[in-house]
Amino acid sequence: MKKYQVTISAPGKLMLFGEHAVVYGRPCIVTAVGQRMKATIELTKEPIFQLNAPDVQITNYQKPMTKLGLGDIPKGAKFVEMAVANFLIRHPERLAKDLSRMRGGIKITTKSQFNSQFGFGSSSASTVCVIKALSELTGKKLSNKRSFLSDKAIFDISYKTVLDIQGKGSGFDVASTIYGGTLYFVIGGKVIKPLKLKSLPLIVGYSGIKADTVTLINQVSQKAKKYPQIIDNLYSSIGQLIPLAQNALLRGDFENVGELMDFNQGYLSSLGVSSSKLEAMIHASREAGAYGAKLSGAGVGDCMIAFAPPSKVNAVKKAIEKAGGKAINIKSNVEGVRLES
């Protein structure tokens, strides 16, 4: 019997190493986190696109299927709507057949386990959920779990969606959401390599400030126009940390990982993407016994991360809170996108 409704879930992400430099061809290391985005997608009898995404204040948003991707799209609806539009463009035959038979449309409801303010990649997670769901619903299986790289088709459509909306981006957040675990990644999915880690004891602190990724990327880009050699040298220095961090992670040498995080934070501060709030949380973590700490993501706000010996974890969390942040209990290195029902 043909299915006309599925529920998909996908994890959030946290960048471990390589922010900003990854946009300019250097590698990065990213991990999937335990809070998940869920999306229920249903093929309906009316030729209407419908979206309910209460986490981003979208309620009963509707438009004709023929108008997908056109006109003014509310901020909270952009990624989901463009994901559907891009799937239709890339794989029109099967979905068009299903919809024409029903003379219908698509209804989507999303629900997040994490606050979209945290910077865990809710937009990428919702995009991937939609593409994965449509491939399941239409029988156009873009993912074959017997082959890791078969998920590349889902990555390509999801990454195109991100670029259509943001104009810039490396795709690391999309890859993390699809593949899960902890990845070594190069822009555009040129390299997507899973790191086989037994554990990743991250400490995460939220700054309480929402960062705007595209704005920060553009600000750094303007600095690069003024000081091209200096900024390129900083990107290269960040890139040189990645293989060292990869090896340390695979050895479980978190003391070395922490030292490399401190280097990475120094380079990010030089790029101008840190902030007094993040710096306070980072320095408090180090003083409380962390091996190392750095911001995670675009910078200025969102989250910082730290590694610490087991005996110092509680002290580091308390230090983050005392510095004005919020310590978040979170699992990392988790499973990627999956079919729930």
| pLDDT score at 148 | 31
CATH 3.40.50.300 assigned to 203-328: no
| pLDDT score at 147 | 35
- Is pLDDT of 102 > 60? no
On whether the CB atoms of residues 250 and 195 are closer than 8 A, the answer is yes
| pLDDT score at 7 | 96
| pLDDT score at 210 | 83
- Is pLDDT of 3 > 70? no
pLDDT tens by residue, 220-234: 999 999 999 999 999
Average pLDDT, the chain: 90
For the chain, the residue count is 341
Q: Which residue has the higher pLDDT, 186 or 117?
A: 186
Interatomic CA distance for residues 233 and 249, integer angstroms: 25
Interatomic CA distance for residues 310 and 289, integer angstroms: 10
Interatomic CA distance for residues 256 and 222, integer angstroms: 33
Q: Is residue 96 very low, low, confident or very high in pLDDT (cuts 50, 70, 90)?
A: low
Q: Which residue has the higher pLDDT, 140 or 82?
A: 82
On whether the CB atoms of residues 130 and 9 are closer than 8 A, the answer is no
- Would you give the DSSP letter of residue 332? B
Interatomic CA distance for residues 25 and 187, integer angstroms: 6
Structure tokens given for 217: 């990327």
On whether the CB atoms of residues 193 and 141 are closer than 8 A, the answer is no
Q: How is the chain split into domains, by residue range?
A: 5-198+333-339, 203-328
pLDDT exceeding 70 applies to what percent of the chain?
90
Mean pLDDT over residues 172-194, rounded?
97
- Is pLDDT of 31 > 50? yes
On whether the CB atoms of residues 288 and 318 are closer than 8 A, the answer is yes
pLDDT tens by residue, 36-80: 999 999 988 888 999 999 988 999 999 998 898 889 999 999 999
The bridge status of strand 5-17 relative to strand 48-53 is unpaired
| pLDDT score at 197 | 94
| pLDDT score at 263 | 98
Structure tokens given for 40: 């229920």
Interatomic CA distance for residues 277 and 323, integer angstroms: 8
- Is pLDDT of 121 > 90? no
CATH class entry, domain 5-198+333-339: alpha beta
On whether the CB atoms of residues 162 and 154 are closer than 8 A, the answer is no
Interatomic CA distance for residues 330 and 205, integer angstroms: 10
pLDDT tens by residue, 238-261: 999 999 999 999 999 999 999 999
| pLDDT score at 149 | 33
Give the end-to-end CA distance of the chain in Å, rounded to a whole number: 15
On whether the CB atoms of residues 197 and 249 are closer than 8 A, the answer is yes
pLDDT tens by residue, 295-338: 998 888 889 999 999 999 999 999 999 999 999 998 999 999 99
- Is pLDDT of 150 > 70? no
- Is pLDDT of 141 > 80? no
Question: Which strand (E) or helix (H) includes residue 337?
Answer: none
Interatomic CA distance for residues 12 and 114, integer angstroms: 8
Task: Report the phi/psi class of residue 294: left, alpha or beta, with left for phi > 0 and alpha for psi in -120 to 50.
Answer: beta
| pLDDT score at 137 | 81
Distances (CA, A) of 172 to 32, 83, 122, 144, 211: 11, 17, 13, 20, 17
| pLDDT score at 89 | 82
